[in-house]
Amino acid sequence: MAPPDARAAPPASMADDRISRAFDYATQSFAVAAAEVEKLRHDPLELFTRAAQPVLWLMLFGEVMAQVRGIAPGRESYLDFLAPGILAQSVLFVAIFYGISAIWERDLGVLQRYLVSPAPRSALVIGKAVSASVRALSQAVIVYLLALALGVDIDLNPASILGAAAAAAIAVGSALFSTFSLIIACIVKTRERFMGIGQVLTMPIFFASNAIYPLSLMPGWLRVIAHLNPLTYEVDALRTLMLSAGQSDYGLLLDFGVLLGTVAILTLIAARLYARMGY
Of the chain, the percentage scoring pLDDT greater than 90 comes to 27
Residue type, 258: V
Strand partners of residue 32: none
Terminal Cα distance for the chain, rounded? 57
| Domain-embedded: residue 114 | yes
| Domain-embedded: residue 175 | yes
| Domain-embedded: residue 3 | no
What predicted TM-score, i.e. pTM, was given to this entire model? 0.83
| Domain-embedded: residue 172 | yes
Q: For residue 266, give its domain range.
A: 11-274
Nearest to 247 by CA among 235, 258, 256: 235
How many structural domains are present in the chain?
Answer: 1
Tens-digit pLDDT profile for residues 78-94: 888 899 999 999 899 88
Nearest to 237 by CA among 256, 218, 209, 263: 256
| Domain-embedded: residue 63 | yes
| Domain-embedded: residue 127 | yes
Determine the pLDDT at residue 265.
95
| Burial of residue 8 (number of CB atoms within 10 Å: 0-12, 13-18, 19+) | exposed
Tens-digit pLDDT profile for residues 14-27: 666 677 777 666 77
What are the phi and psi torsion angles at 44 (to 5°)? -65, -20
Q: Half-sphere exposure (CA, 13 Å, Cβ side) for 66?
A: 18
